Structure 1
Amino acid sequence: MNYQQIRAFSLVAQEGSVRRASEVLGVSQPTVSQHLKALEQRHGLRLLEKRGRGLVLTDAGRELYSVTKTLMFAAKEVEELLQRRPSAGNGRLRIVSDSPALAVHIVSLMLEETPDLQISIRKDSVAGVVEAVQDMRADVGIAVDPMIGTALHVQPVKREELWVALPSEDSLSKQNRFPIEMVAQRVLVMREKSSRTRALIERALSLENIQPRRVIEIEGAEVVREAVAKGLGIAFCAGSECPPDHRIAYRRITMRHGKIGFVENVIIRQDRRRVPEIAQFLGAAEKVRSAPVESLKQKK
């Protein structure tokens, strides 16, 4: 008996679709189809038939599925048993994030309880984060609005609001709020095109029908802030990425259509939720999610 073939069949029968089964398994659709074909050819049985856009079980398929459901449940119990360890502090955790600062915050809570845990944190795009978690090149991911399938578990952890960064000598820095329409009178320092912050800014400006007087494109959040400090223009940044700097004033933005913000999510594989280090990370992330939102009023 080939376990991979049986597992592929059982998931296709459960989901009614090769595509959804491939998402749960974290493999390509052709791989799942090959497993099904090999299983049917090996035993000379027709197990599934195409009907409309989905698949239905044949009589032989229904009989087999009734047995494989029990087998898959037992296999899951075996996997969970083997993943249990005496403590969560003897292993390692590989994190990939589009927001390393948030990852560091969560890890700092973990290390209070398990200081010997080996940690690595790497930065990547949203797509890179999802792929790394799916391929198990990372244990945990953090990303904004990821496009995922049922193979991954997503847990919202923090909502971020965008603030405007102004040179401290700018006349608008004397006000508590920054009307977004004032962007039309300013030079706007923008991140590279792949930046999530830039995408949010462009969407908000389009919604408000506003064009900046001029745009300067600079790669990297730190360099953008330095450009603002030097008086090259204004910029937008996430609240957690606005470190105090006497040369820069951070102000809340007012606009007609709500606020500019996004939600950061923790992403893990569904089949690894019970790994102790991952479970501990989820617990620490939940503490961050439920903590009071910090204010930037002190960042003058």
Structure 2
Amino acid sequence: MNYPQIRAFHLVAKEGSVRRAAELLGVSQPTISQHLKGLETRHGVRLFEKRGRGLVPTEAGERLFSVTVRLTELVNEIDDLLEQRPRAATGRLRIHADSPGIAVRLVSRLRASHPRIEVTIQRRSTEAIAAALLEMRADVGIAVEPMVDPALLILPYRYEELRVCLPATSPLAQRRDFALDAISGQTLIQRESGSRTRALVERTLAIAGKTPASVLEIDGSDVVREAVACGLGMTFFAESDCLPDPRVVYLRLAPPQRQIGFSEHIMLRRDRRRVVEIAAFLSAVEVGDDEAAFGAPGPRR
């Protein structure tokens, strides 16, 4: 194995740029290109394809990258062991979440203690989050109903109640809480299909046997909030998504639905919990190593 070639490949796959990889290694761009060409020629495989101004891994490149991620982490661990000092958290953390709003708030804590960590956040479905973690395309996942997989560690984070969002001008906005009986005379503004909030609302209404007068479907929480502010109807938000806006009012659900909400979980690969950036994230958001009951190793679903 030619390690300089592997290292060059890893950085280009990670950064999406020959120029950036060359800067990180302190070599010229032609040197990086020669390493990539040598690796592809030696093994008779195409590892990258051009997309716009950058490079993206092919399917073979993606598979190799998932291995070089582990290799790089092992090399860093060896360096830390031999130097007898922990490596500073200065790398990149890729977060996939079903609610980017929560991810942003968690990252703010991380950045307060580790400002040199670069962070990317992407919205993904629960299934896509699990796949990205397993394939090393994400480092940390945040999801309400995480998929169980023996390779994944699932840690409970927090519980969020469901809130009702009404126009500030609505007579219902003057109440202390919102009884589901009142929804029969309201227009319900729902998020797009696949939204975790929509799924919970539909399940709650079905169990309670309640139906709104009409339904509007709008994509995007910000647009939904704007629609409520404009008086088009009412909606539901998770507690952490109740952003301040003088044009709307947020109410708790009245009993017996008051405790309905989401259980948020942090997800990561079991074999990566000691990666410096991941460990820094877990410490910053104060999540321990005690996994949820369904997070224990078991059959994949």
Deviation at 1:79, TM superposition (A): 8.1
Q: What is the alpha-carbon distance in structure 1 between the residues aligned to residue 124 and residue 287 of structure 2? A: 24
- Which residue is equivalent to 2:180? 180
Contact kept, 8 Å, 1:88 with 1:276, in 2: the verdict is yes
Gap change, CA 1:99 and 1:218, over 3 Å in 2: same
- SS of residue matched to 2:285: helix
Native 8 Å contact 2:188 2:214 kept in 1? yes
Runs (5+) with no aligned partner, structure 2: 1-73, 289-301
5+ long unaligned stretches in structure 1: 1-77, 289-300
Partner of 2:282: 282
Distance in 1 of aligned mates of 2:97 and 2:197:
15
- Select between 254-263 and 98-107 the one with higher mean Cα deviation: 254-263
1:231 maps to which residue? Answer: 231
Contact 1:83-1:275 at 8 Å conserved across structures: no
| Structure 1 match to 2:138 | 138
- Matched with 2:265 is 265
Structure 1: how far apart are the matches of 2:94 and 2:239?
25
8 Å CA contact 2:155–2:287 kept in 1: the answer is no
1:29-48 mapped onto 2 (5 Å cutoff)? none
Distance 1:177 1:191, change over 3 A: same
Separation of aligned partners in 2, 1:274 and 1:198: 36
- 1:180–1:255 CA contact under 8 A, matched in 2: no
Distance 1:133 1:237 in 2: 27
How big is the alpha-carbon RMSD for the aligned residues of Structure 1 and Structure 2?
A: 1.9
| 1:198-233, Cα deviation, whole Å (9 max, x unpaired) | 000011001101011111111111111111001110
Q: 1:48-63 maps to which residues of 2 (within 5 A)?
A: none
Q: Does 1:112 align with 2:109?
A: no
Which of the two has higher C-alpha Rg? 1
Supply the distance in 2 between the matched residues of 1:114 and 1:285 (Cα, whole angstroms): 12
> Which residue number corresponds to residue 220 of structure 1?
220
Q: How far does residue 105 in structure 1 lie from its aligned partner after superposition?
A: 1.6
Query: Counterpart in 1 of 2:160?
Result: 160
Residues 81-126 of structure 1 show CA distances to partners (whole Å, capped at 9, x for unaligned) of 4384733422111111111121122211121222111111111111
Q: Measure the CA separation in 2 of the matches of 1:124 and 1:88.
A: 29
SS at match of 2:193: coil
Partner of 1:14: none
Matching residue of 1:245:
245
Aligned CA distance change for structure 1 residues 257 and 105 (closer, same or farther; 3 Å): closer
Query: In 1, are the aligned partners of 2:110 and 2:285 still within 8 Å (CA)?
Result: no
Q: 1:162 to 1:83 in 2, by over 3 A?
A: farther
Aligned residues: 211
Cα separation, partners in 2 of 1:235 and 1:87, compared to 1, 3 Å: same
Contact 1:80 1:274 survives alignment (8 Å): no
Q: Is the 8 A contact 1:177 1:254 kept in 2?
A: yes
Report SS of the residue matched to 1:182. helix
- What is aligned with 2:209? 209
Conserved 8 A contact 1:201-1:260: no
State whether residues 273 and 279 of structure 2, in contact with CA within 8 Å, keep that contact through their aligned partners in structure 1: yes
Q: 3-state SS of the aligned residue for 1:243?
A: coil
